[in-house]
Amino acid sequence: MATDLERLLTGTAAVIPEDELQRKLELGRPLRVKLGIDPSRPDLHLGHAVVLRKLRQFQDLGHTAVLIIGDFTGLVGDPSGQSETRPMLSPEEMEANARSYFEQAGLVLDVDRAEIRHNSEWLGVLSMQEVLQLTSQVTVAQMLEREDFDTRYREGRPISVVEFLYPLMQAMDSVAINADVEMGGTDQTFNLLMGREIQRAYGQEPQVVFTMPLIEGTDGKRKMSKSFDNYVALTDPPEEMFGKLMSIPDELIDKYTELATDLDPVEGHPNPRKRRMARAVVDLYHGAGVGEEAEARFDQVFIRDEIPEDTREVAVPEAALRDGMVSIPHLLAALGLAESISAARRLIKQGGVKVDGRPVEDPEAVMEPSGLAGKVVQVGHRKMVRIGS
């Protein structure tokens, strides 16, 4: 049987330093395991779940998950991996995003057993003298060791001073809650190591840095991100989630299996392995057995090119009407089949929109409301609705 240490190390990118984790596990008390959350976006995807799933392992072993809502650091925005200064969010935007985040994080974590803190508790009350004391602990040269800062500096792109403060503010979070372990993706390594430096400067035992791999998106090239439209959201409908997972390149099957499911990778032909992984992911977020149902629907639509009998029936929204006619781009946006009207027009130009199996070719297409009654409006293979009569 695997030891606690072996279980925790499985699937990790790095543990710095590893021998300190073993020593902390032998302390005989629950460790305080920190995960910082800047609510810059309201939606979570499988990339976020990689870290959350590892944090849940710590919880299941009896340790304390400390979730820090970055309602103060979120005003700045994490510059990690960014090529330019991020826009500041309003407190209202962050609060709305944070509510959405925790609803979705509850699909992975036991949020009732987690300790929830807002970093405005300590960062919002720092005096200028305390800020100066904090900034005196590091040099500009140290900050420019960050690859993204170094690249921007060499290319003459601006770096605001407040972005230099971000890693220090994140480090102060570790001081404030006396973190034993801090978790994050590999793109967070600089920030997490800064936490060790600042804890040491403030007389605390440094935290262990625990990083998880970044998972590539469905395109197989870039990290999973809503910005790249290559993500699998935790709240995607089962059939959409299954379909997205079936679209990943074969070389990612084992990585998704290891990081996004509780299964072990297996050998064999890619298609059954990919289906096995996709069923398991759907079951995790929608319940046991739902993966098989999503697979059957996938086969019905993709393999047999059929329209399912239980396709959702909707009425034509008022927002889709233009002078008594139904604007197809406005209809797609109003029904959530496209993110926006302009996105709907792009989908039409790409040949991805059909009405009763016939491609829509005109990005400004309109139809009589009566002519749409009973017809199926379809975007790609996964999104479709039937217009009520």
Per-residue pLDDT tens over the stretch 269-279: 999 999 999 99
* 378 pLDDT above the threshold of 90: no
Residue type, 21: L
- 74-88, 142-156, 257-271, 333-347: which has the highest mean pLDDT? 257-271
User: Backbone phi, then psi, for 202, in 5-degree steps?
Assistant: -100, 15
For residue 240, what are the β-bridge partners? Answer: none
Residue 45 in 3-state DSSP?
A: strand
Sequence ranges of the chain with CATH classification 3.40.50.620? 4-212
Sequence ranges of the chain with CATH classification 3.10.290.10? 313-387
The predicted pLDDT at position 77 comes to: 61
Tell me the average pLDDT across 192-220. 96
Please determine, looking at this structure, whether the domain spanning 4-212 carries the CATH number 3.40.50.880.
no
Model's pTM, two decimal places? 0.77
- Higher per-residue pLDDT: 297 or 310: 297
For residue 37, what are the β-bridge partners? Answer: 69
* 81 pLDDT above the threshold of 90: no
- Rounded-to-integer distance, Cα 171 and Cα 142, Å: 14
Give, for 141, the enclosing helix (H) or strand (E): helix 140-143
What architecture does CATH give domain 313-387? Answer: Roll (3.10)
User: Backbone phi, then psi, for 21, in 5-degree steps?
Assistant: -65, -45
Per-residue pLDDT tens over the stretch 94-133: 778 888 888 889 999 999 999 999 999 999 999 999 999 9
Q: Looking at residue 382, what DSSP letter applies?
A: T
